Structure formats: C-alpha cells, structure tokens
Amino acid sequence: MNNTLTLLGLLSREPSHGYDLKNDYDRFFGTQKPLAFGQVYATLARMNRDELVELLGEEPGAGPERKKYRVTGAGQERVESWLFTPQVPAATLQSDLFAKIVIALLLDDDARRLLELQRQEHMRRMREMTRMKRDGQLLQTLMCDYGLFHIEADLRWIDLTEARLSQLKDSLVRS
C-alpha cells in the first residue's frame, strides 16, 4: 500500500493536522500495522516540499504547535490519477516462494516439506483473518476478505506445484 498517496487521499477530504491524519489512517487501514507519527510528519513535509499540500498555519496545542495542511490542486490531481489508475496484478511473476521451490529442487532438498510448511503458515494466517473478520466491522471484513482470497489462490498454487514437483525437478535437471 502506498502510504503517501493514502495519506494524501485522506487529507483530500478536508484540511487536517498530522495527528488527526494518523488517527484516520490507523482507523481505516492500520488495524494490523499503525503508522508511526514520525512517518506521517515526514510524509507531510515531503508532500509540502513537492507542492502536493500546503501549510495553512500553526495552532497551539498541549505539546508542540499543530500544523494544519490542505491538499493543493496538484495534490488533488495526484489523488485522482492514483484512484483511477488500475493496479497491475502481480507486476512480476517472481516470488520468494517460487524461488525457494526452485532452489530447493536444485539443491536436491525437500521441496515438499517447504510447501507443507508454507501451507501451514497460510492456514494459520487464514484462521487469524477469519477470526478478525468475524469480530470486525464491514471495513475490516472487506480487508480480511481481500487477504483470504489471496491466500486461497496461494494455496491452490501450492497444491498444483506439489503435484508437479517431480516434473519440475526433471525440467530443472535438463536445463
């Protein structure tokens, strides 16, 4: 997930302080991995430098003065472009799991064990996401559904690869 563009999108709703922006991000997207305040402020500084946001001013707060930002026209264009530019599914066909399978076979190691360990980890994560989905609101449920569908696809690939291990090993030996 592109945190910069996500923060810029959140800020596009209305002018905001970094503190409020961080809280919105965490509420909508950071249930598993909240953003650090430092990352939010560094991102706002870069966006300000790049003229995607502008500083409206500073307000006194309990701690340091709170800076309020709003999105510029260039920032709005960037958000619009990001929103309506389709993501390329799996831009590359290379993955660590695929590389591990090939290396295990080249080293004459136990690729089946590797696939079984990965299957177990996927199943563990699936159970965790299912619990989160059951206990969550719609936003979290949809996020979990997205992850679960990806895990299901990975599990199908693991099963297919396991069924083809001998064939794959033979093709690697011949090349």
Task: For 91-134, write each residue's pLDDT tens digit.
Answer: 666 688 999 999 999 999 999 999 999 999 999 999 999 999 99
| Residue 13 contacts residue 36 (beta carbons within 8 Å) | no
Residue with tokens 């979290």: 140
Q: How far apart are CA 41 and CA 87, in angstroms?
A: 27
| Over residues 5-34, mean pLDDT | 90
SS3 state of residue 86: coil
Note the pTM of the prediction, 2 decimals.
Answer: 0.73
Q: What is the pLDDT of residue 91?
A: 67
Q: Which residues pair with 70 in a beta bridge?
A: 54
SS3 state of residue 7: helix
Report the topology of domain 3-83.
Answer: Arc Repressor Mutant, subunit A (1.10.10)
The ranges assigned to domains in the chain are 3-83, 96-174
Task: For 32-67, write each residue's pLDDT tens digit.
Answer: 788 999 999 999 999 999 999 999 988 776 666 789
